[in-house]
Amino acid sequence: MTGRGPANLATLANGAAGVGAILYTLAGNPLWGMLLIVCGLGFDGLDGWLSRRAGLAASAFGRVADSVADAVTFGLAPATLVIVHTERAALWSPWQADADLVGVIIVALAFARLAYFTLRAYRVPHFLGAPTPQNALAVVALVLFLDVPGFFGTHPVAFLLGTGLVALTMVVPVPFPKVRRGSRVRLPATITSIALVAALLPLQFRPPPGSWGFLLAEAAAGVAAAGIAFYYLAGPFLVPGGTSEGTE
């Protein structure tokens, strides 16, 4: 397959991963949902790499298709993780209205950001505000530590405050670097994604707390959380000039 075919397939796979993440979460398996979100991040990076490797110029259709896929995988899917609580439902019941509100905020801010990227900000080399995939990774990390499996226990208030705050970073006027070859955030971002996969894979088998699988997942999630924090805290200082505008 030549031309735009491989890149379009990667974009389609990204969107399919997001749809799968939503369906698994609704069916009561948020761990599979989180794993598919991380897989969608891989496909999201792959479609850009395939386009550049083929020497293809950016197209309006490609931007729109990529933004639609991102809206599903990095907007709707993380919001579903926040809203749907099939585990510890009794504990979450008093906070359901708040969870619904935070979920709506995540979707609204992600959609607004992606619309801005599609119409204008795709031309510039940096982001203004944290990109939607980064927000999705942050939500996944917060779920792991504060909800399912809850390495720090299940804490609805802390979870909702955390997810609401990271959602707001998508629209703050702060520059963030893109994860590209040569970028100083590329290696930490790669380690973060690998660590999240390493955390989520053993959790699919529901290892009991204290078992080697659970401890491995907890340690890997800690590495991923450190990588996510690095991007949010150090990223703005790694943007040349610190004033470029962009979004995704």
Q: For residue 246, name the pLDDT band (cuts at 50, 70, 90).
A: very low
pLDDT of residue 243: 43
158-181: pLDDT as tens digits: 999 999 999 999 999 899 998 887
pTM of the model: 0.92
Calculate the average pLDDT of the chain: 90
Q: Give the mean pLDDT of 143-160.
A: 97
pLDDT of residue 245: 39
17-48: pLDDT as tens digits: 999 999 999 999 999 999 999 999 999 988 87
> Hey, how many other C-beta atoms are within 10 angstroms of the C-beta on 90?
7
- DSSP summary character for residue 208: P
Q: List the domain boundaries for the chain.
A: 5-238
Cβ neighbours for 28, distance < 8 A, ≥ 6 positions apart: 86, 87
| Contact predicate 145/221, CB 8 Å | yes
What are all long-range contacts of 5-10, with beta carbons under 8 Å and residues at least 24 apart? 6/50, 6/54, 7/47, 7/48, 7/50, 7/51, 7/54, 7/56, 7/62, 8/47, 8/62, 8/65, 10/43, 10/44, 10/46, 10/47, 10/50
